[in-house]
């Protein structure tokens, strides 16, 4: 929620804000007269007709400066000012509240006890944008980010490129109005510090995340997911600094679970890992823009990736929980069922598992294991996480066989446990491989906790996807973080 900065320099007494267009405001004109007649010092601001209410010397607020500063959302609003600060307010007509605020009893005899008001003109969408811009220029908001004033002839999208704010694609210009609208997507205060973002170790506020979410193209309702992703990525366990700095391919991938995924239209179905969904595309991008702009993590500087991968622009999708043979990823990782959560994962690009023949879980697990062996290198074992995205047509096979995730995980660990003679350096005439100490015995390529399963994808296609993690031996672990409103 965003409120304007506390209006200062107010005179002690009462303030009423009204507009003639509002029937409740017209109804309580007599009450305003009674307050004046009882000697209550009441200043009346009028939002539309400067002559309304007639005979009560209203103050013209058709420019809405006072209404904006006072944070008026409803007319009529009655405010009590003490010590130059608003100490109480009543929205709409409520006899008991108005009497309490004014200290005058018997107000509005003959009127109903309550009557709701109308929307303040400050909330009209077009006006709100103008007011937000004006307020930021005047320093009259809770927003603390530095305003950048562009030149008369400067194109705002080109200006964002020129200042280095972009990931290479155009960004939505982060105007004050857009940022204020974005902040309405979260109940958290704009100034709340959410995380410390490497490599600059800069404090990141909700406001800074909102600015970058605007640039990424997010809708306000996506903001809680972006905030959770930033919180998760900036934990010691995930280690975004290492993920950023490594020469390896990885970038942060976000898997979303829980009711928020459907509510904001995240895709978990056809083309779940691809393009075309605004929520998928912009949430992943917003996280990367926060790392770039707040953290200062830029390719060629701290980001030393040899190749990177296309998912470093954006990589976010939801789990198809309803169609899954298993409990959701977030539930398996300790989040209550029904709560929303993100899991961040240091991801390389997806690789295909094609298996159109297996009708038994054993056979399909064999295909998974054969493909899993190639992650990083067929002769390297240990320390690498993998997300296995199981499609509906493959999920059906495991459901029919009543294989739990734990069963599948154990089978895959067993089937990717390799003889040392095959993986030692030089074996198969390949220099790459494990050191001489691995030459005898057998060695698991994965520990059980290295294998994560997510159910997603279109209903046609007997494919799954493997998404390899960072080979940094525990340099980054997947982190699951609850989404708060």
Partner 1 sequence: MTERILLDPTNERAPARRNRAARPVSLDGKVIGLLDISKPRGDVFLGRLAEVLEARGHRVVRFRKPTYTKPAPPEVRRAVRDGCDVVVEGLAD
**Least distance in angstroms from the C-beta of 453 to partner 1:** 36
Other CB atoms within a 10 A radius of the CB of residue 355 amount to: 18
Polymer length of the chain: 485
How many CA within 13 A on the CB side of residue 142?
A: 20
Least distance between partner 1 and beta carbon 223 (Å): 14
Spatial distance between the Cα atoms of 264 and 276, rounded to a whole number of angstroms: 14
Give residues with Cβ within 8 angstroms of 278, minimum separation 6: 217, 219, 265
| Cβ proximity to partner 1, 16 vs 197, nearer residue | 197
User: CA-to-CA distance for 304 and 302, rounded, in angstroms?
Assistant: 6
Nearer to partner 1, 295 or 478 (CB): 295
Question: What is the closest distance, in whole angstroms, from the C-beta atom of residue 125 to partner 1 in the complex?
Answer: 10
- Give the burial class of 316: count Cβ atoms within 10 A of its Cβ; 0-12 exposed, 13-18 middle, 19 or more buried: buried
Can you name the residues that pair with 256 across neighbouring β-strands? 318, 342
Q: How far is the CB of 153 from partner 1 (least distance, A)?
A: 11
Shortest gap between Cβ of 5 and partner 1 (angstroms)? 15
Beta carbon nearer to partner 1, 211 or 462: 211
CB of 196 to partner 1, least distance (A): 10
Going by the DSSP 8-state scheme, the letter that residue 376 receives in this structure is S
Encoding tokens for residue 57? 């010397």
Closest CB to partner 1 among residues 215, 240: 215
By beta-carbon proximity to partner 1, the closer residue of 202 and 439 is 202
Q: How far is the CB of 210 from partner 1 (least distance, A)?
A: 9
Q: Is the CB of 107 or the CB of 234 nearer to partner 1?
A: 234
| Gap between the Cα atoms of 171 and 409, Å rounded | 41
Q: How many CA within 13 A on the CB side of residue 430?
A: 12
Comparison of 16 and 209: residue with beta carbon closer to partner 1 = 209
Q: Which CB, 207 or 321, lies closer to partner 1? A: 207
If we measure between CA atoms, which residue out of 299, 292, 140, 135 comes closest to residue 212?
292
- The burial class, CB within 10 Å (0-12 / 13-18 / 19+), for 236 is exposed
Strand partners for 390: 455, 464
Provide the minimum distance between the beta carbon of 279 and partner 1 in the complex, in angstroms, as a whole number. 20
| Angle made by CA atoms 407, 412, 418, in degrees to the nearest 5 | 140
Which residue number, 234 or 471, has a Cβ lying nearer to partner 1?
234
Closest C-alpha among 413, 260, 255, 229 to residue 328: 255
Cα 315 from chain centroid (whole Å): 13
Closest distance of CB 235 from partner 1, Å: 19
Bond from prior residue into 76 cis (ω within 30 degrees of 0)? yes
CA distance 150 to 143: 18
Instruction: Give the up-direction half-sphere exposure of residue 425: CA atoms within 13 A in the CB hemisphere.
Output: 6
By C-beta, is 62 or 175 nearer to partner 1?
175
Shortest Cβ 75–partner 1 spacing (Å): 25
The nearer residue to partner 1, 83 or 151, going by C-beta atoms, is 151
Minimum CB distance to partner 1 smaller for 131 or for 423:
131
CB of 179 to partner 1, least distance (A): 5
C-beta of 298: minimal distance to partner 1 in Å? 11
DSSP strand pairing (42-46 vs 13-18): parallel
Cβ proximity to partner 1: between 43 and 202 the closer is: 202
Q: Which residue has the tokens 């003109």?
A: 121
Query: What is the binding site for partner 1 (CB under 8 A)?
Result: 129-130, 133, 136-137, 143, 145-150, 156, 159-160, 163, 165, 173-177, 179, 197, 200, 202-203, 207-208, 211-212, 215, 289, 293-296
Q: Closest distance between partner 1 and the C-beta of residue 205, in Å?
A: 10
Q: How far is CA 350 from CA 312, 358, 386, 414, in A?
A: 12, 21, 10, 23
Say if residue 173 is exposed, middle or buried (CB neighbours under 10 Å; 0-12, 13-18, 19+): middle
Cα separations (Å) of 224 from 158, 220, 342, 481? 29, 8, 10, 11
């Amino acid at each position: 929620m965003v409120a304007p900065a506390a209006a200062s320099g107010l005179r002690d007494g009462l303030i009423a804000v009204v507009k003639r267009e509002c029937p409740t405001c017209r109804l309580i004109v007599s009450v305003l007269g009674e307050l004046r007649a009882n000697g209550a010092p009441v200043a009346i601001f009028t939002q539309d007709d400067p002559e309304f209410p007639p005979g009560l010397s209203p103050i013209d607020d058709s420019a809405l400066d006072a209404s904006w500063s006072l944070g008026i959302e409803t007319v009529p609003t009655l405010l009590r000012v003490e010590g130059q600060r608003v100490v109480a307010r009543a929205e709409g007509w409520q006899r008991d509240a108005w009497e309490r605020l004014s200290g005058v009893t018997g107000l509005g005899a003959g009127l109903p006890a309550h009557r709701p008001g109308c929307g303040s003109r400050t909330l009209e969408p077009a006006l709100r944008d103008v007011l937000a811009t004006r307020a930021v220029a005047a320093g009259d908001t809770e927003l603390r980010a530095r305003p950048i004033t562009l030149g008369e002839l400067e194109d705002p999208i080109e200006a964002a490129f020129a200042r280095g704010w972009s990931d290479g694609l155009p960004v939505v210009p982060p105007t004050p109005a857009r940022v204020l609208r974005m902040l309405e997507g979260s109940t958290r205060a704009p100034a709340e510090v959410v995380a410390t973002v490497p490599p600059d170790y800069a404090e990141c506020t909700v406001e800074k995340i909102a600015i970058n979410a605007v640039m990424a193209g997010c809708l306000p309702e996506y903001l809680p997911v972006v905030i959770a992703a930033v919180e998760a990525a900036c934990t010691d366990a995930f280690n975004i600094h290492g993920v950023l700095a490594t020469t390896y391919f990885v970038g942060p991938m976000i898997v979303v679970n829980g009711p928020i995924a459907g509510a904001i239209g995240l895709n978990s179905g056809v083309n779940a890992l691809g393009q075309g969904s605004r929520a998928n595309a912009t949430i992943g991008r917003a996280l990367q823009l926060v790392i770039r702009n707040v953290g200062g993590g830029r390719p060629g500087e701290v980001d030393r990736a040899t190749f990177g991968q296309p998912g470093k622009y954006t990589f976010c999708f939801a789990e198809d929980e309803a169609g899954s043979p298993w409990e959701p990823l977030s539930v398996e990782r300790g989040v209550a069922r029904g709560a929303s959560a993100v899991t961040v994962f240091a991801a390389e690009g997806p690789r295909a598992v094609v298996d159109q023949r297996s009708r038994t879980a054993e056979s399909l697990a064999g295909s998974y294991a054969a493909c899993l062996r190639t992650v990083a290198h067929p002769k390297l074992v240990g320390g690498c996480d993998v997300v296995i995205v199981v499609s509906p047509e493959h999920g059906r096979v495991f459901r029919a066989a009543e294989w739990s995730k734990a069963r599948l995980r154990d089978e895959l660990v067993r089937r990717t446990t390799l003889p040392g003679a095959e993986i030692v350096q030089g074996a198969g005439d390949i220099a790459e491989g494990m050191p001489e100490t691995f030459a005898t015995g057998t060695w698991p390529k994965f520990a059980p906790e290295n294998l994560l399963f997510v159910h997603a994808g279109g209903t046609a296609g007997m494919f799954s996807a493997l998404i390899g993690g960072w080979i940094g031996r525990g340099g980054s672990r997947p982190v699951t973080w609850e989404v708060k409103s």
